[in-house]
């Protein structure tokens, strides 16, 4: 691929969730003339959620997609150049850093902010996608509140699944937890807390067959993978907690990442192992994964980039 079509920019932002857009707002106000490429899911994970009630400043709540439109318009009003397109290759071996867009053009940038986010892992069922946002969710902390005093199901066996089951147990009348094997991956402490919580019922060796309901979740059909016995459990919501995957494959071998692929940033900063390349939002945060915390790190990345670019000009 020739680098014949190249454009030079001061600050490039890859990704468009709360982290990317917040970085764009700050970078534009600092006159870094940021160019932001939205990636394959403009607005990120929030565009597949419905009501967001935990983001400060929206007293009556807001729909996830609408909130991302608000973020985008604010970034545009500040002067950010927001574009449709996806980063397909990077070359961070020397400055200016090079990022290929849509396998056809190269952008050269003095600083790069990575906000490519993460994607929830799904079981891969038709009914799961069809009812997503109508009782099917990958975020108990986001959506558990809507099912107060109702029966809900959760699938997963790690620490996150246990945490979310415990969170739901405080809101919902009963939590049905489906675990595929005869044991959990979660730490002993988390397992013990789940097992002694009266309104959490753990189903061992259990696979989800189908989520049932026309326009909303009404039942879930599960199968015991030892006896092959099928059971229909009436629930109003189905939470998938089988993990997230950071969208970081583009940076393999280039940026430091942990064993799960989350980008590693220096403590107290958003800087990666390459000076002038910053990471914010869910691509580097596997702990909190909230819109508000992602936006916070987007702000940090823009401030870090501003300091770095200011020092370059001296």
Q: Is the pLDDT of residue 5 over 90?
A: no
The single residue of 143, 282, 285, 304 carrying the catalytic annotation is 143
CA gap 249, 272 in Å, rounded: 15
Mode of pairing for the β-strands spanning 97-101 and 87-91: antiparallel
Catalytic residue status for 142: yes
C-alpha span between 221 and 63 (Å, rounded): 30
- Predicted confidence (pLDDT) at residue 1 exceeds the cutoff of 50: no
Domains of the chain: 6-119+244-313 (3.50.50.60), 122-240 (3.50.50.60)
**What's the whole-number mean pLDDT along residues 240-249?**
95
**Is the model's pLDDT at 2 over the cut of 80?**
no
* Mean pLDDT value across residues 15-35: 98
Out of 11, 139, 172, 280, the active site residue is: 139
Distance in Å from the first CA to the final CA of the chain: 35
Residue count of the chain, please give it.
314
pLDDT at 203: 98
pLDDT at 142: 85
Query: Is pLDDT of 69 > 90?
Result: yes
What residue has token string 């200016």? 96
Q: Which of 142, 162, 172, 280 is catalytic?
A: 142
User: Is 162 labeled as catalytic in the residue annotation?
Assistant: no
pTM of the model as a whole: 0.83
Contact yes or no for 25/72 (Cβ under 8 A): no
């Amino acid at each position: 691929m020739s680098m014949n079509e190249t454009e030079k920019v001061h600050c490039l932002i890859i990704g468009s969730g709360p982290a990317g857009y917040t970085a764009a707002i700050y970078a534009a106000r600092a006159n870094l003339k940021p160019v932001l490429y939205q990636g394959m899911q403009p607005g990120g994970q929030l565009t597949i959620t419905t009501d967001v009630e935990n983001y400060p400043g929206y007293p009556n709540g807001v729909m996830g997609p609408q909130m991302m439109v608000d973020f985008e318009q604010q970034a545009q009003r500040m002067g950010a150049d927001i574009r449709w397109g996806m980063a397909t290759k990077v070359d961070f071996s020397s400055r200016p850093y090079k990022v290929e867009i849509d396998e056809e053009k190269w952008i050269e940038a003095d600083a790069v902010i990575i906000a490519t986010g993460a994607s929830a892992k799904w079981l891969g069922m038709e009914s799961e996608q069809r009812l997503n946002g109508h009782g099917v969710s990958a975020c108990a902390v986001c959506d558990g509140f809507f099912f107060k005093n109702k029966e809900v199901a959760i699938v997963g066996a790690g620490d996150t699944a246990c945490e979310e089951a415990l969170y739901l147990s405080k809101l919902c009348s009963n939590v049905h937890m489906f675990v595929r094997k005869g044991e959990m991956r979660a730490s002993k402490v988390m397992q013990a807390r789940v097992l002694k919580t009266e309104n959490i019922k753990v189903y061992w060796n259990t696979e989800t067959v189908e989520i049932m309901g026309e326009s909303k979740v009404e039942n879930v059909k599960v199968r015991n993978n030892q006896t092959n016995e099928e059971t229909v459990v009436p629930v109003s919501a189905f939470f998938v907690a089988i993990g997230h995957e950071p969208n970081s494959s583009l940076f393999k071998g280039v940026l430091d990442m942990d064993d799960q692929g989350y980008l590693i940033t220096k403590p107290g900063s958003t800087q990666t192992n390459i000076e002038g390349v910053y990471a914010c939002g869910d691509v580097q945060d596997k702990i909190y994964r909230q819109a508000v915390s992602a936006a916070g790190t987007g702000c940090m990345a823009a401030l870090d980039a501003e300091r770095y670019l200011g020092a370059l000009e001296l």
